[in-house]
Structure 1
Amino acid sequence: MTQLPPRFEISRQDIARVVAVFYERIRGHPGLGPVFAAHVDDWPSHEAKVTDFWANAILHERSYDGNPVEVHRRAGNVRPGMFDTWLALFDHVLAREVTPQQAQAWSALAHRIGRTVRAGVVDQAKGPGGVPILR
């Protein structure tokens, strides 16, 4: 079986660096930090898993086994409105840590994945009468 080429040129080490910087920023963020802190006890393991996720999504490695939509649904404290903040912070890190071409390609992929995860959370976040809770 032929392996697919990377979506864009980047090393696994660069992916790991971006993930580490991003989660450093997350831990200090007043809105997102507490949400993550409620679920992440072992930051190095979490960052390794997320690095595997991105290596799978970008480099087509087979190192990630998980379901991000289900994880975010089960968390119970993730709200659909948080995704815009998450993506803006991620874009900020990308702009500082990788080339403009890499940042553009990775951001487009992150926003596409973010829309999918957000939709999975919105489907579960319903108010009276089944109206979606968007914040």
Structure 2
Amino acid sequence: MYSELNRDSIAALVADFYGDIRRDSVLAPVFDGAIGDNWEPHLARMVDFWCSVMLKSAEFKGNVYGKHMQLQGVEAEHFRRWLGLFESHVTGRFAPGDADAFLAAARRIAASLQYGFFGRVEVA
């Protein structure tokens, strides 16, 4: 049974997904270095972000690109892992059309950030 696409299901996705990020040997150091002890506010912002993307709620206010460009040590492998984990959390949780929309947005964002970091898209 698929989750209905709403704020509650997006909040559950964010909690589960970032729980795995925090346990991932490749991603955890990058995220912990940037977020430190501020995980709860970060998760709340990510719920607002994905609600803005998927529900057109316009709740998120921020500069995703500028914030990420401040990070040090980001490599193509980080994008591969992030996208792989995200896909595993979205697929099967949401109906195929909604999952595809999540993944298309995630890939667009990843491509933009990769271009900023590397001058090219390494992982799509």
Normalised by the length of structure 2, the TM-score is 0.84
Aligned pair partner of 1:22 in 17, 20, 40: 17
Rounded to whole Å, the distance in 1 between the matches of 2:42 and 2:89 is 18
Alpha-carbon distance in 2 for matches of 1:73, 1:81: 16
Q: Take 1:101 and 1:52, find their aligned partners in 2: how far apart are those partners? A: 21
For 1:16, the aligned partner's letter is: A
Percent identity over paired residues: 33
3-state SS of 2:60 partner: coil
Deviation of 1:100 after TM superposition, in Å, equals 2.8
Matched to 2:46, the amino acid is V
Give secondary structure in 1 for the equivalent of 2:62: coil
Q: Look up the SS of the partner of 1:38 in the other structure.
A: helix
Instruction: Report the CA distance between 1:119 and its aligned residue.
Output: 1.1
Does 96-105 or 26-35 show the bigger shift? 96-105
Measured in 1, the distance between the counterparts of 2:98 and 2:50 equals: 13
Alpha-carbon deviations, 1:13-68, whole Å to 9, x = none? 11111111110000000000111011112211101101111111111112111111
- Using the size of structure 1 for normalisation, the TM-score is 0.78
Distance (Å, rounded) in 2 between the aligned partners of 1:58 and 1:105: 8
1:58-93 Cα distance to aligned partner (Å, 9 max, x none): 111121111111111101132244212110110011
SS at match of 1:63: coil
For residues 51 and 77 of structure 1, the distance between their equivalents in structure 2, rounded to whole angstroms, comes to 25
Q: Deviation above 3 Å: which 4+ runs of structure 1?
A: none
1:58 lines up with 2:54 in the alignment: yes
Rg larger in structure = 1
Give the distance between the partners of 1:20 and 1:60, measured in 2 at CA: 20
Deviation at 1:96, TM superposition (A): 4.2
SS, match of residue 64 in structure 1: coil
For 1:56, give the aligned amino acid.
S
3-state SS in 2 of match to 1:10: coil
Can you give the 5+ residue segments of structure 2 that lack an aligned partner in the other structure?
A: none
Contact persistence 1:16–1:51 (CA under 8 A):
yes
